[in-house]
Chain A
Amino acid sequence: MHDEPTDVCVFAEVHDGKLAEASLELLHKARDLACELEGAVGAFLLGSDVRPLTEQLFAHGCDRVYLADDGALSHYSTLPYAEVLSSMIRQAGPAVVLFGATTLGRDLAPRVASKLQVGLTADCTDLQIGPHTDIIKGKEYPRLLYQIRPAFGGNIIATIVNPRTRPQMATVREGVMKMGTPEPDRGGELVEFNGALDDSLLCVELLEEQRAPRSVNLKKAKVIVAGGAGVGGREGFELIRKLAETLGGQVGASRAAVDAGYIAKAHQVGQTGTTVRPKLYIACGISGAVQHRAGMQEASKIVAINTDPEAPIFQVAHYGIVGDLNEVVPALIDIYKEHAK
């Protein structure tokens, strides 16, 4: 019998001594996948003085934490992290390794995949386990990782598999996997990794770092008021912002509005931006390209405001307002203020 690996591992991303939410979300997905593969859930934890975080990883469903605690790993740098993580993966031999599709994950994962000569799929929005038949070689794979991702600017959805190489690696969009409830008393096994780092890997020096808490958090927003090309400019977005503030929501935007320079990229909703599921999504002057609709159609209620009655956005809307947003939006602000008193 061939020894097919069954474990599912997650790269545990750490910022300022805290585990990234994206990594914790992934652990819960890893648990589902590991159940189907009848394997264990692991996490790779790299950093300096990060040992206390192992408890939290166990609580989020991890059976085994692979730990590399080294002063040289205190700040993320591609070369040492790729070197250490590649060695840890070789040692652990999992079936699957998942990364959050953060800037860090998207910097590290491809370097590691190239080192290990394995396949990698970027920015997955779903992961499943399923069978696959290699038609050319006539080989059956009963339980492969289906790596599902938008492609072609978000206009199609592709399912990718890595039949031949292990581990099967993927980066996963933040916020698409649901966070589960931690079990604080859950324990697990700690596997320590001790390897000396070659000095040549430490050639990149950090001179300055600026991090600000995200001012835009579309994933957690209950209400999103989004503007598109129809908003007409930066000034027009002031109106969108005002409605969002009035409703206690966040400002979203279509790709067209971002590309036109009306608003920062962080506000972009859609398959190529952030996928959102608010209670209320108000689309103002957004025509509704496929990739945009796919990124917001799971909102509980969608209100579309557009002058063009044929705009595709109306196909996913619960309420459609054919009209000029410059009149409708101020009216909505006034009416809501009256009712909210």
Chain B
Amino acid sequence: MSYEIIVCVKQVPDTENLTGDAMKEDGTVNRSALPAIVNPEDLNALELAVSVKDAHGGRVTVISMGPPNAAEALRECLYRGADTAVLLTDRRFAASDTLATSYVLSCAVRALGSPDILLCGRQAIDGDTAQIGPQLAEKLGLPQFTYVEQLADIGDGCVTVRRALDDGYEVVRGPLPALLTVTSEANAPRPPSAKRVMRYKKARAACELVNEDETLLGELRQRGLLIEQWGLEEIGAEEAACGGSGSPTRVKKIDSVQLRSEEHKPVEPTTEGLTELVEELIAEHILD
């Protein structure tokens, strides 16, 4: 049997590779200095989706909520094997916390028609919350399997996965449709294929076109190169549940990380220098 699969992805600043000007003098983050990438574990989710499709047939749709720029992340997913992409962009989605974001995503998933498998990365590297997956599953009334490090089996309307635990793992089986959040242990995401890059580099969302005329949109759609762009109305969301008004949490303040800074004692990398260090640590009962 073939599977309808939806993968939720997020475009994130590359916080793992902070460069010199990424942090401003006041300790806040200079987002514009950071390259935007597809959240790494979302690529593991996509890889899992594409490998299921390769083995069993079906269709992989990627969705992303974000600013118009997030279309770039969706193109990246098309290069890596997704069949279609939907960009959820609307000013009224801005400032959403995880509760509001999971609401918007749940509306989009419903609008797409319920999938057999819904996938997310375990967590995004800019927020590290790991909340979207479980909150989305709850809103759609789906069972959830978080921290998936291996898809052991899929068939007969069931999925069997190995989940990472703090001190080991468990293997669990449950019915489809279900939501899985995927860790970096699950697989190695395939690189963009040259053939797909050639094909999809021309894929565009409406917001990326200078002139959104219907003929051009129709042409792109016909050639399978249109990244669908949906706002609040298209997904039938309630405005009050989106964006800031749908978000119970507020960021009260942002501080730079307080780092101690003091003069250190230089130790020469010689036998004498190191002996003195070891003796001092033993004398101060730091070492036994």
Of the residues A122, A146, A151, A322, contact of B131 by C-beta under 8 Å: A122
Q: Chain B 141-174 against A: per-residue CB contact (8 Å), 1 yes, 0 no?
A: 0011111000000000000100111111111111
Query: Is the Cβ of A162 less than 8 Å from the Cβ of B29?
Result: no
Nearest CB of chain A from residue B138's CB, rounded to whole Å: 4
Q: Chain A 196-238 against B: per-residue CB contact (8 Å), 1 yes, 0 no?
A: 0000000111111111111000000001000000000000000
Q: Is B134 an interface residue (CB 8 A)?
A: yes
Q: Is B28 an interface residue (CB 8 A)?
A: yes
Query: Is the Cβ of A203 less than 8 Å from the Cβ of B175?
Result: yes
Q: Decide yes or no: A335 and B135 within 8 Å by CB, A119-B247, A132-B252, A211-B168 being known contacts.
A: no
Give complex CA distance A220, B268 in Å.
Answer: 30
Q: Is A61 an interface residue (CB 8 A)?
A: no
Q: Is B218 an interface residue (CB 8 A)?
A: no
Give complex CA distance A297, B28 in Å.
Answer: 20
Query: Is the Cβ of B172 less than 8 Å from the Cβ of A206?
Result: yes
Q: Which residues of A contact B286 (CB under 8 A)?
A: 279-280, 300-301
Of the residues B18, B143, B165, B262, contact of A103 by C-beta under 8 Å: B165
Query: Is the Cβ of B257 less than 8 Å from the Cβ of A78?
Result: no
9-residue interface stretch from A28-36, A39-47, A87-95, A104-112: A104-112
Query: Is the Cβ of A110 less than 8 Å from the Cβ of B249?
Result: no
Q: Which residues of B contact A117 (CB under 8 A)?
A: 99, 248
Q: Is A293 an interface residue (CB 8 A)?
A: yes
Q: Which residues of B contact A239 (CB under 8 A)?
A: none
Q: Chain A 300-320 against B: per-residue CB contact (8 Å), 1 yes, 0 no?
A: 110111000000001111111
Q: Which residues of B contact A162 (CB under 8 A)?
A: 248-250
Nearest CB of chain B from residue A42's CB, rounded to whole Å: 21
State the majority secondary structure of interface residues on A: mixed
The residue in chain B whose Cβ has the minimal distance to the Cβ of A132 is: B252
Q: Is B15 an interface residue (CB 8 A)?
A: yes
Q: Decide yes or no: A339 and B146 within 8 Å by CB, A205-B174, A212-B168 being known contacts.
A: no
Report how many residues on chain A are interfacial, defined by Cβ distance under 8 Å.
93
Nearest CB of chain B from residue A290's CB, rounded to whole Å: 5
Q: Is A115 an interface residue (CB 8 A)?
A: yes
Give complex CA distance A26, B209 in Å.
Answer: 52
Q: Is A23 an interface residue (CB 8 A)?
A: no
State the majority secondary structure of interface residues on B: mixed
Q: Which residues of A contact B278 (CB under 8 A)?
A: 332, 335-336, 339
Query: Is the Cβ of B127 less than 8 Å from the Cβ of A151?
Result: yes
Q: Which residues of A contact B160 (CB under 8 A)?
A: 207
Q: Total A-B pairs in contact (CB under 8 Å)?
A: 254
Q: Which residues of A contact B281 (CB under 8 A)?
A: 280, 301
Report how many residues on chain B are interfacial, defined by Cβ distance under 8 Å.
81
The residue in chain B whose Cβ has the minimal distance to the Cβ of A223 is: B287
Query: Is the Cβ of A209 less than 8 Å from the Cβ of B168?
Result: yes
Give complex CA distance A318, B145 in Å.
Answer: 45
Nearest CB of chain B from residue A199's CB, rounded to whole Å: 12
Q: Which residues of B contact A259 (CB under 8 A)?
A: 16
Nearest CB of chain A from residue B216's CB, rounded to whole Å: 38
Query: Is the Cβ of A290 less than 8 Å from the Cβ of B171?
Result: no
Nearest CB of chain A from residue B280's CB, rounded to whole Å: 8
Query: Is the Cβ of B129 less than 8 Å from the Cβ of A328?
Result: no
9-residue interface stretch from A3-11, A152-160, A180-188: A152-160
Nearest CB of chain B from residue A220's CB, rounded to whole Å: 14
Q: Is A121 an interface residue (CB 8 A)?
A: yes
Query: Is the Cβ of A293 less than 8 Å from the Cβ of B249?
Result: no
Give complex CA distance A74, B208 in Å.
Answer: 53
Query: Is the Cβ of A153 less than 8 Å from the Cβ of B126?
Result: yes
9-residue interface stretch from B44-52, B56-64, B231-239, B269-277: B269-277
Q: Which residues of B contact A301 (CB under 8 A)?
A: 281, 284, 286
Q: Is A54 an interface residue (CB 8 A)?
A: no
Query: Is the Cβ of A146 less than 8 Å from the Cβ of B98?
Result: no
Give complex CA distance A153, B264 in Å.
Answer: 27
Q: Is B254 an interface residue (CB 8 A)?
A: yes
Give complex CA distance A248, B160 in Å.
Answer: 41
Give complex CA distance A127, B38 in Å.
Answer: 32
Query: Is the Cβ of A247 less than 8 Å from the Cβ of B287?
Result: yes
Give complex CA distance A208, B135 in Å.
Answer: 26
Give complex CA distance A23, B213 in Å.
Answer: 58
The residue in chain B whose Cβ has the minimal distance to the Cβ of A205 is: B173
Could you show 29 A-B contacts with beta carbons less than 8 Å apart?
A106-B130, A107-B144, A110-B138, A114-B99, A114-B102, A118-B248, A119-B248, A121-B249, A123-B128, A156-B28, A156-B255, A157-B258, A158-B253, A158-B254, A160-B252, A206-B171, A207-B160, A207-B171, A207-B172, A208-B170, A212-B167, A248-B288, A290-B18, A291-B257, A301-B281, A314-B264, A321-B269, A323-B269, A336-B287
